[in-house]
Chains A and B, each alone.
Chain A
Amino acid sequence: MIHVEELSVSYGAVRALRNVTMTAPTGKITAVLGTNGAGKTTLLRTISGLVKPTVGTIHCKSTALVGLATDEIARLGIGHVPEGRGVIAEFTIEENLRLGVLASKVNANEGLERQFELFPVLGERRKQYASTLSGGERQMLAMARALIARPQFLLLDEPSLGLAPQVTADMMRMISSLCQHENLTVLLVEQNAKSALRIAHEAVVLHLGSVIASGAAATIGNDSDLRRYYLGMVQ
C-alpha cells in the first residue's frame, strides 16, 4: 500500500497541499477527486519524487519515498502516467514502449508481446510514430508504457482528459480488470468523478490542498453535498 502522512507542499508562497494524510490500500483502486487546483496532480507528483514536500512522509510498503530520486522511485515498481500522458511524439509506438521496459528487469520482447496482446491496436501500428495516434490511442500507449515494466503500483493522472465518453468508459473498465488480474494498487486522479467512482474501491476528496473527505467510494459518491460542491456531479 501507499501511505501518505501529514504531507505539505508549497510552490513558493502557494500552499498546494496542506497536511494531507491518506492511504491507498493494496490491490485496490483509490480515486483522488476534487475540482481544479485542488492539489491532486501535486499529490501524485510528490509521490513520484518530482516535487519535494516541505513536511510529511510517504511510505510505499515499508520504504520511505521522500528524498528519493524520481527514477529510483519508478524502479521500486511505481508506475506513473502523468497529466497529458507524456507520450513522446518523436518516437514510434515500439520505441515508446521499449523505453518503458529498459529500466526494469522485464525482458523487452516479452513485455512488448504482452502489451500488444492487451492493446492490439498498438501492435498493428508498432512502427508508426506516436504523433499519428488519436487521443484514445495515446492514452492506451501511455498506459501500456507504464504497465510494461510490471509495476505493483500505478499512479494515473486524469486519464480521461480529452477522451470521448465511450472511450473513457472502455478505459475505466480496463483499469478495473487490470487491477484485479495483476493485483495492482491504483491511485486514480480524476476530475470526472462519476466514471472514477464507478470503478474505485476507496476515494479521497481534496479541496484547496486539504483532504475534506475520505472513505469507501460508494459512501463518497452518495454524499449529496460532496457531489454538488466538490465533485462537479450534477444531481
Chain B
Amino acid sequence: MGSFVTSRFITYLLGGISSGIVIALVALSLVIIWKSTHVLNFAQGAMGMFATFVGMNLVFKGTNYWLCVLLSLAVGLALGGVTERLLIRPLYGKPEINPIVVMVGFLGVLESAIPSIWHTNLLPVPTPFSQIYYQDHGHTILVSPFVIFQVSLALGIMGGVALLFQYTNLGLKMRAAALAPEVSRLLGVRVNRLLTLGWILSSGVGAMAAVIVSSGQSLAATNMDGIFVSAFIAAAVGGLESPVGAITGGLLIGVTESLILGYWSSNMAPLAGVLVLVASLAIRPQGIFTRNSSRRV
C-alpha cells in the first residue's frame, strides 16, 4: 500500500486532483453566469483577485484568517452585483460579442488597477493550515493539510451551489430565469433580479477560488490568469451549460497539467488546457460546443 500511494503516478494524480478542484470551482462559476445571462465573464479571475486583495491583505496586518476570507467573499459578492448592473445590464439584447469585449476591458482595468492600489508584497499569504506535504517512507505525497482544506472548501462550495439550485425555491426560480426568461416573467418571476443574483453568486464563488489559490503564495493580480483559461476550457469541454461537465473538465485539466509537469516539463504545463481542448475536439469533431437551446414545449 505504501509504495502504491507514493508511486510517481499516484502522487501526480493526487496533486492534479487538488489543483483540478480549484479549476473546477472557477469553471462552475463561469457556467452559472453563462446559464443565466449568456455572457462569458473574461474578468472572472481578475474580479476574484480584486476581492482577494481587499480581504487577504489584512492577514499580513494580523487580522484573523477566517475574517479575511469572509471579507473577500463579501467583496466578491458585491462586485458581482455591481458589475452586472452597470456593465452587463445595458447590453442585454445587443450582439453577443459586446459583453465579451466589455469584460475583456474590465479585466484590463482590474489587472492594472490592482497593482496601483496595493503595494507589491512578495510574501506569501499565511494560512492556518500547514503546507508541508505529507511524507511516506521518505517519499513526498503532493498532499498537505492545506491541500485538504482547499479541496474540502471547494467541494463544500460546489455542494452548496448544487443544493441551492436543485432543492430550493430560489434555485428553481434561478434555473427558470436562465432556461426560459420570457415564460418566467409571465409567471411573475423577477427575472432581472435573479440574473443579478446569478452574477453575485458566481462572483462569490470566483472570489473563494481566488482566495484558495492565493493562500500560501504571494498576492499578484495575475494569479488567476492561467486558471481562468483552464477553467474556461473545462467549462467549454463539458458544454457551457453543464455544471457537472465543468467540474469533470476541471479535474481532467488539473490532472493533465500535473502529469505534464511531472513527466515532461514545468514549462509546458500551461498547455494542458489546450491539449485537453484539442483532444476533446478530436473525439467529437462535430463539436462538444453546439449550443442546445432550451426546449420549450
Contacts and interface: CB of A to CB of B under 8 A. Distances in A.
Contacts of A133: 297
Interface string B181-196: 0111111111100000
Interface stretch (B139-147, B172-180, B210-218, B259-267): B172-180
A138 B175 CA distance: 20
B179 A86 contact: no
A41 to B, nearest CB: 13
Contact of A74 (B169, B187, B295, B297): B187
Interface of A: 48, 50, 69-71, 74-75, 79-80, 82, 84-91, 95, 98-100, 102-104, 108, 130-131, 133, 138, 145-146, 149
A141 B190 CA distance: 22
Most B CB within 10 A of own CB, among A87, A98, A99, A145: A99
Given A87-B297, A89-B295, A90-B294, A103 B172 contact: no
21 contacts: A50-B186, A71-B188, A71-B189, A80-B186, A82-B182, A84-B296, A85-B296, A86-B186, A87-B296, A87-B297, A88-B294, A89-B295, A90-B175, A99-B172, A102-B173, A103-B188, A103-B190, A104-B188, A130-B297, A146-B187, A149-B188
A131 B169 contact: no
Contacts of A75: 188
B185 A102 contact: no
A89 B295 CA distance: 6
Given A71-B185, A98-B169, A130-B297, 19 more contacts: A48-B186, A50-B185, A50-B186, A71-B191, A79-B186, A84-B296, A85-B297, A86-B183, A88-B179, A88-B180, A88-B296, A89-B295, A95-B172, A99-B187, A103-B187, A103-B189, A131-B295, A138-B297, A146-B187
Interface residues of B, number: 21
Contact of B187 (A95, A100, A138): A100
B186 A70 contact: yes
Nearest to A108: B169
Nearest to A72: B188
Contacts of A80: 186
